[in-house]
Structure 1
């Protein structure tokens, strides 16, 4: 049976996330709620067996890791959030005023990354993580981690549309014999 497991940890809340704005490469910090969510993570995360902690280079992820007491081993540029191009800083509702029915999962991201490019970065992380024996914690961003979970399962990158991940939410990916599975996904935490 394979020995690598992944613990996916989304950063805490930001003002843009609270406002449902696409927050890709803009380096937005945590708001007060996000800071509290990050401080609450140590009691919620299954950290037994974690042998490595990799983190997105963006401040909201690095700050979440630090406040959660996670000693980051690697700042991994492949864990950065989707480059939303024209959608950066905008809500889906605002974009749909111009492009009815638009969705990040199905439509062109003018000036940004395609879904396939995000999937390729996720694949790169998975390949490197599978060379590690034990659990690798990945601290990053909602859409990217959702794509990564889909790719872990062998699904197309768009399979991430079926998974939600709250601010400071987490998921555990592992195995049932030789089949990659989601062991736990976005469990509720205490209200903040």
Structure 2
């Protein structure tokens, strides 16, 4: 049963060299840049603001170093690793920019594929549905540390939309977004701030 007063706070990891350069990064375990670490540390006050009831009933992170380091720098080293929060697996497209991918697949987007050797939208939906169910089973606030495409897809699934609808939700590095409820309806309370 969903807690209609519960919120799910999403934090996209800080900047890495590849995120800065527009390279799709899923399984490559890159560290944060100096700027990424600095900005992640700056999120701590926003996440732990006493005026926002700063306690979290559950704190989860992707297994990737960039997300785990962001969680630690934000003051949440207790974050539990959840493999389902990993970034969309780009397979053979790992490390390539959209422009480079479109040399082979014109008009390509992650939302419509193809993703040779990686995950399709249905696979991403299945694992993110487990995260959504886990969040909804918790009373109180949840804090998640993750990645651009997977958090956008998670938001779509929170809203009970297909993963591909995450394409409408731009998500920058080191930002906070909040999912919640309006009565019994799942909603976006704040995005990309």
- TM-score (ref. length: structure 2): 0.93
| Residue 172 (structure 2) aligns with | 166
Distance 1:47 1:110, change over 3 A: farther
User: Is residue 4–residue 131 contact of structure 1 (8 Å, CA) maintained in 2?
Assistant: no
- TM-score (ref. length: structure 1): 0.93
1:38-95 deviation per Cα after TM superposition (whole angstroms, max 9, x unaligned): 1100123356242221011110001001111113341100001111011100000001
Give the CA deviation at 1:102: 1.2
Instruction: Say how many residue pairs are matched.
Output: 187
Structure 1 residue runs of 5 or longer lacking an equivalent are 188-192
1:111-165 deviation per Cα after TM superposition (whole angstroms, max 9, x unaligned): 0000111111110001111111001101011100000001101111101000011
SS of alignment partner, residue 134 of structure 1: coil
1:166-190 deviation per Cα after TM superposition (whole angstroms, max 9, x unaligned): 1111110000011111001011xxx
Cα distance in structure 2, aligned partners of 1:31 and 1:47: 31
Cα distance in structure 1, aligned partners of 2:163 and 2:53: 27
* 2:16 pairs with one of 5, 14, 17: 14
1:50 and 2:50 are equivalent in the alignment: no
Structure 2 residue runs of 5 or longer lacking an equivalent are none
* 1:3 pairs with one of 2, 5, 29: 5
1:102 and 2:104 are equivalent in the alignment: no
| Residue 37 (structure 2) aligns with | 35
Cα distance in structure 2, aligned partners of 1:34 and 1:153: 29
User: Is residue 41–residue 168 contact of structure 1 (8 Å, CA) maintained in 2?
Assistant: yes
Give the CA deviation at 1:107: 1.8
CA RMSD, aligned part only? 1.3
* 1:65 pairs with one of 45, 48, 71: 71
| Residue 90 (structure 2) aligns with | 84
